[in-house]
Amino acid sequence: MSLPPARKGHAGPKIVIPGFAHFGVSGHSFNELLLFKNESLDIGLTPRILVPRSTDERVAAEIEADRVLDLLPEFEVNTGNFVLSTMTFADTARLVAPLRAWLDAECLDSSDMIYFPRGHPVLISGIGKWLSEKTDDRRPAVFFRIIGDELTDLDTGRFKTRAVFYRLASADLDHASARERVFFLVNSSAKARSVARVLRRRSFMMQHHFGRPPDTAPVAETVDPTVYVHVNSRSGRCLTNLGDTIRRVREVEPATRFVIKPAGDISDTMAALDLGDSAFVEILPLQMSTTEYFGNLARSTLVVLAYEAQPYRFLTSGVFTEAASLGKPVIVPRGTWMADKIAEGYGVGMSFEGRPPEALAEVILKALRESRQLASAAQAIAPRLAEETGCRRFIETMVSLAKTTPDMEPGYRIGDDINFSDALDSRDFMGNGWSETESWGTWTIGSRAELSVKLAAKPDRLLFLGAFAFAHLPRQDHEGVNVRVYCGDEPIAEWKFTPAEARGGGPRWFSAPLPAPEHLGSALNLVFEIEGASSPHAEGLSHDRRVLGLGLCKLAIAEAGEASVIERGVEQQAQKEQEPAPPKVRLLTRLVNRMRN
């Protein structure tokens, strides 16, 4: 392994970027490293980029990267490889040894930074141990960017099995003496929630940093309307029905041209497509230079992100940010991060919903009819977006954060729900009086159960507690269960459950107004006192001797206007989640309980 040369003279602070991903000369991984190199130099930093040994020598030379890293295990954990994954995680010291050796030889100090473009439990645990061995003046600030799919199953929205190893890695940080030097960066509230629940760490919100490079030359649009369509492995029916979508558009607007940019391993699907008249459809290559990539975006009239919606409720899109910073209207799936960014003023465009051929074609046609107005609005905000979502702003924000020592404890964001059927999502809020996590939620045990919810910010409006719950009512002649709810020492509600009101035993919403904001502290200590709890064993139903009272599925704290929205969303999700939970639930519960103890 080649080690770095010793630091000489008064070079600027260093930013070390270990990029463990496979990449060529095209795509976000390469573009990100290239942008970081150029922008870091422009603001007086000294970039040091590290890439896997397997990286093509010419590609590494383009970004002046050192080929010193060993690839990390993919860590796609499941019940079949859980033991092997545990052994891999236990082998962290060996896996990070090449990186540690390079960092030690570099002689970093507290003015320097290390930025990981993607998190990994081995890296989080290993870098925490490395930092703890350094003196204060030799500890650089470390940043991990959380993408979204590391922790969350994009199809179900539940935390992946691998998330428990992120939790273990974060626990290693908590035990290290340098936990305040490690920052987790996110660019959506969904990711911030995941970091808070799984890693039990505060995250720091950043704008997406794939904006237009500052040296991108403007490219004139083609005379005919041109629709740039980006497809990838998460395009689903949008990709398989793309030929039908193109035909529907061209039946109404026959002069429209389509430029299709595939990404990822979708060659078989692309080969099976019938895209019609090839004179009006151009398929771009997978590998392009940065100049070619932005040139094709720039000559388009509209940019279409032909993706399924569900994964992008958690993922973000670099293509969206790049197109918006070029002043291009963007068509996106509804209910996604991209649609939220348009609503927040970080892009201009439209959203589609429903079956791809009909719905997507209809929205494209509408956008073409309004293309002048949309383009004018998009171009008006493009200069601001190029600055705010550019790589330079991202680096400058890290430089500012590195000079602070913020509180790293996470806080609950008003309006978020807490899922009691997911151990990683809920166990850290629980005190005494709760049973194990089950596929539907969690039972209270005995006559009293406690929750503690630390707020991210002190509220200035009246809040309501909402609980999606039911009670253990084993017989039709059961007298019922009464639950008295307290916030601190103040009683706020009494919920009554009777067999007649049980609606077949399913959960329903119960609510309670919390004390006025001026009487609330930084943490809400909630107590449930239960009368009428009983055990299945005592009722002659089973050998289960637990004294069951309240069955809690989900809980949320919200302002009055948000409460009904949360309730509708949770009820709709509950209808979808009729399938039994995977067998990992009990295993995760035991692991989380052991970590808490």
Least confident of 13-27, 106-120, 347-361, 365-379: 13-27
Q: Does pLDDT of 2 surpass 70?
A: no
Query: How does residue 499 score in pLDDT terms, banded at 50, 70 and 90?
Result: confident
β-bridge mates for residue 525, sequence order: 452
| Rounded Cα distance, 237 and 192, in Å | 29
| Rounded Cα distance, 554 and 436, in Å | 15
* Phi, psi values for residue 361, rounded to 5°: -60, -40
| Rounded Cα distance, 497 and 469, in Å | 10
Q: Contact at 8 Å (CB) between 32 and 210?
A: yes
* pLDDT tens profile 251-280: 999 999 999 999 888 888 888 888 766 789
Least confident of 482-486, 506-510, 580-584: 580-584
| Average pLDDT estimate for 141-167 | 90
- Domains of the chain, each with CATH number or no CATH: 14-205 (3.40.50), 226-382 (3.40.50.2000), 417-596 (2.60.120.260)
Number of Cα atoms under 13 Å in the Cβ half of residue 150? 27
* pLDDT tens profile 174-217: 777 778 899 999 988 889 999 999 999 999 999 877 766 656 55
DSSP string covering 174-213, please?
HHSTTGGGEEEEESSHHHHHHIIIII---EEE--------
Residues near 304 by beta carbon (within 8 Å), at least 6 away in sequence: 227, 228, 229, 230, 330, 331, 360, 364
Tell me 72's DSSP state: P
Residues near 215 by beta carbon (within 8 Å), at least 6 away in sequence: none
* pTM, two decimal places: 0.85
| Average pLDDT estimate for 377-388 | 92
Least confident of 26-35, 284-293, 325-334, 507-516: 26-35
The predicted pLDDT at position 586 comes to 46
* pLDDT tens profile 394-452: 999 999 999 999 989 999 999 999 999 999 999 999 999 999 999 999 999 999 999 99
For residue 307, which amino acid is it? Answer: Y
